[in-house]
Structure 1
Amino acid sequence: MSAQLIYDLAPLGSLVRFSDGTPRPPERHRKKLAAWEHRNSGGRLIRKQPKRRIGNTVIGASFTLHSGDYGGGGVVVLRVHRTFPVDSDLAFVVTERPKLGTVRVLDRPGEDAELVYLAGSRADAETWLQSHGYPNAVLDEVTADAVAADVAEGRTAA
């Protein structure tokens, strides 16, 4: 599916893979493999940003995937996010949608909110929120009604 469809249909918290369609090079070609992995990977959908205007510049709609965290001993020192414009030439696929009953912890209210944690339950989300500093956080539970509305309106992305 296209990047525009991911932006339009995939809910925050979905696992998304992307690819340029080229075959994976052999392990011995390290530079080619690193370049291939840059255009063929995946992550969790954490943010959707609508088209916006800053001065005379128009920035198109985009979405962001959380690709991974790096660190050690329980300390994250590097968080990797990848942002894609809706007109990206890559092919995308939703491999997993958030399960019923999970709770999305968003950093702020509104359509520009970013997913900071996907909890298994409301109690888990509240416990996580107490130990992390997000004063404007919003809890958004994935309900059967939301999933049914996506299916009924033809918005399913997986």
Structure 2
Amino acid sequence: MSASLIYDLAPIGSIVAWSDGTPRPPERHTKKLAAWENRNSKGRLIRKQGKRGVGNVSLSPDFTLHEGDFGAGGVIAIRIHRTFSLDSELTFKVVERPAPGSIRVFDRAGSQAELVHLAGDRQAAEEWLTRHGYPHAVLEEVTADEVAADHVEGRAAA
């Protein structure tokens, strides 16, 4: 599916895979494999941003996926986020949707909010917050209607 369908239909918290359609190179071709993995991976949908302007520049809508973290000893040193514009030539697929009743933890309220954690229930989300300290965090429950809304107008975020 296209990037615009992911933007329109996939709920925040979904696991989304992207691909350029090329076959995976053999393991022995380490440079080719690394380049392929850069254009063929997956991540959790953490933010959708609508059209916005910065000075005289108009930025098109996009979405951001959290691909992974690097660190040691429980300390995250680097977070890998990938942002895709709606005109991306890559192919996307929703691999997993957030379960109804799970709780999204956003770093703040508003249109610039970013998902920082997806918890199984409200108690787990509040416990996570006590350990990770986001003072302006917002909790939001995933509803069954929202997860089912990805089958709108005959389009499916499969």
Give the alignment's TM-score, normalised by structure 2.
0.93
Shift of 1:156: 4.9
Alignment match, 1:46: 46
How many residues in Structure 1 have an aligned counterpart in Structure 2?
157
Alignment match, 1:35: 35
Alignment match, 1:117: 117
Give the alignment's TM-score, normalised by structure 1.
0.93
Shift of 1:143: 2.1
- Aligned partner of residue 117 in structure 1, secondary structure: strand
CA contact (8 A) 2:151 2:157 kept: no
Task: Give yes or no for the alignment of 1:71 onto 2:40.
Answer: no
CA contact (8 A) 1:10 1:156 kept: no
Shift of 1:124: 0.4
Label 1:102 to 1:29 Cα distance change in 2 as closer, same or farther (>3 A).
Answer: same
Shift of 1:73: 1.5
| Structure 2: tracts of 5 or more residues without a match | none
- Aligned partner of residue 126 in structure 1, secondary structure: helix
Q: Which amino acid aligns with 1:9?
A: L
Label 1:25 to 1:147 Cα distance change in 2 as closer, same or farther (>3 A).
Answer: closer
Task: Give yes or no for the alignment of 1:141 onto 2:138.
Answer: no
Q: Deviations over 1:15-47 (max 9, x none)?
A: 000000001111111111111000000100001
- After TM superposition, the structure 1 stretch with the greater mean CA deviation from structure 2, 136-145 or 9-18, is 136-145
| Structure 1: tracts of 5 or more residues without a match | none
Shift of 1:152: 6.9
Alignment match, 2:15: 15
Shift of 1:133: 2.3
Query: How large is the Cα RMSD of the aligned pairs?
Result: 1.5
Label 1:151 to 1:41 Cα distance change in 2 as closer, same or farther (>3 A).
Answer: closer
CA contact (8 A) 1:46 1:115 kept: yes
The percent of aligned pairs where both chains have the same amino acid is 66
Shift of 1:100: 1.4
- Aligned partner of residue 132 in structure 2, secondary structure: coil
